[in-house]
Amino acid sequence: MEKIDPEIQKSIRRACLLAKAFDVEASWLRDKLKPEPKRILNEAKAKVNHFRNTAYSNIGTNAKDIVDERGYGVLEDLMKLI
């Protein structure tokens, strides 16, 4: 496997962290939407999850647990801001 630059790895982790926060919020929101917005949200959620799974396969699965756990914290911080 090709070695990934450490700065790129950090950027991928940040993107995964935001993606996890989106995933959690989208899961909550999905049940409250009408069919068409719900379909669009499901498609976005699937693409985000595909990105996360692909990214984890490139930066190592040990990063997955750390990033996923922090994703909840990011979402909590965003909720305080908005």
Which residue carries 């999850």 as its tokens?
49
C-alpha distance from residue 48 to each of 2, 41, 52 (Å): 23, 10, 6
SS3 36: helix
pLDDT at 75: 81
Give the Cα separation of 35 and 39 in Å (integer): 6
**pTM of the model as a whole:** 0.79
pLDDT at 1: 54
For the chain, 82 residues long, give each residue's pLDDT as a single digit of tens. 578 788 988 888 888 888 988 998 999 999 999 999 999 999 999 999 999 888 888 777 677 777 777 877 888 888 888 8
Give the Cα separation of 29 and 70 in Å (integer): 20
pLDDT at 26: 94
